[in-house]
Amino acid sequence: MPTRTYHVIFNANAGTALATGITEAALAEMFASNGLAATIDADADRPMPERIEQALASDADTIVAAGGDGTITALCGAILGTGKSLAILPPGTVNALAKDLHIPLDTAAAVAALADGVTQQIDVGEVNGRFFLHKVVIGMIPGMAAGHEHIRGMPGVSAKVGFMRYFFRRLARTRRIAIAIDADDTGKPEVERVQAVAVASNSYDEGFGRILARERLDGGTLTLYVLKRLTFVDFFRPAGGMLVGRWHQDQALEVQSVGAVTIDSHKGLLKVMFDGEVETLATPLHFTIHPKALTMLAPAPLPDTGNPAGEALPA
């Protein structure tokens, strides 16, 4: 087997990288100590599209995203169809995909795991020409995330207290929004008044202690989560349901497996949470799924749940 080569795009400003003091030199040493040939790009002063273009033009067969979800998502869209693999190192703030792929969240351990990594194909979601790897959320959640950004940098306890105060203040004032949802693009949209809507690549699992985790990333479907309301009681009930492993049946939530979906609003622009980043997208939002479109290098194959691709989830 030919020696695998790596081109690493390192976001030194990612949350965990700043907290742990990981540097370009330290990252290079981690690769060298594991016998891995890597080029490290830590030039944060250059635009990301330029750095990605350089990575794709390199001889490396694996492009490594060493940063948060924003870095990973940006690389995903560029790598599709190039024949290169994508790998993840976790010095970011959320790293939802890294957790789903069972990649160690310690950077040194994640680099070591690359040596024995295997390639696997995962699904990629698309909305209005933009690719995503876990979910797009509409409604109150993006506003919550924006509030979290305002308190980033505060001391640990102060940040947690500040965010909880912001969260419950926002929860008390939040209002439902009117949207039209056309599941599977039948041409017959249904108007709903909702607190939030999430469209996820595949589905989040139920199970004790499993909070927004996915075992299967190659099921070939989108999952639509519609939160009709969110009062104080509604907040604590599904949160408790997640902890004990039963939240899909919560009375405030509807869950549906779809091949495609269009979401429209009377607003021309909607603020969304796009793979962990707050962005603004033009309506209507057209969602589709690209089965097994992205080649990932990860520590182990995806578990086989035994569910055939496209099997509908109970609403």
pLDDT tens-place string over residues 71-82: 888 899 899 999
pLDDT value for 301: 54
- Tell me if residue 3 falls in helix, strand or coil: coil
Give the Cα separation of 37 and 8 in Å (integer): 10
Which of 147, 169, 149, 165 lies closest to 157, judged by CA? 165
Q: What percentage of the chain exceeds 70 in pLDDT?
A: 70
The pTM score is 0.79
The pLDDT of 279-289, averaged and rounded, is: 96
pLDDT tens-place string over residues 141-185: 654 444 444 444 444 555 555 555 655 565 556 678 899 999 999
The class that CATH gives domain 132-291 is: mainly beta
CATH 3.40.50.10330 maps onto the chain at 5-116
Could you tell me which residues come within 8 angstroms of residue 219 by beta carbon, excluding any fewer than 6 positions away?
123, 202, 203, 307, 309, 310, 311
Give the Cα separation of 11 and 272 in Å (integer): 23
Residue 58: phi and psi, rounded to 5, are -75, 170
Flag whether pLDDT at 219 surpasses 60.
yes
CATH 2.60.200.40 maps onto the chain at 132-291
CATH superfamily of 5-116: Probable inorganic polyphosphate/atp-NAD kinase; domain 1 (3.40.50.10330)
Angle between helices 48-57 and 69-79 (to 10 degrees): 50
Q: Label residue 308 by pLDDT band (50, 70, 90).
A: very low
Q: Indicate the range of 43-47, 51-55, 132-136, 230-234 predicted with least confidence.
A: 230-234
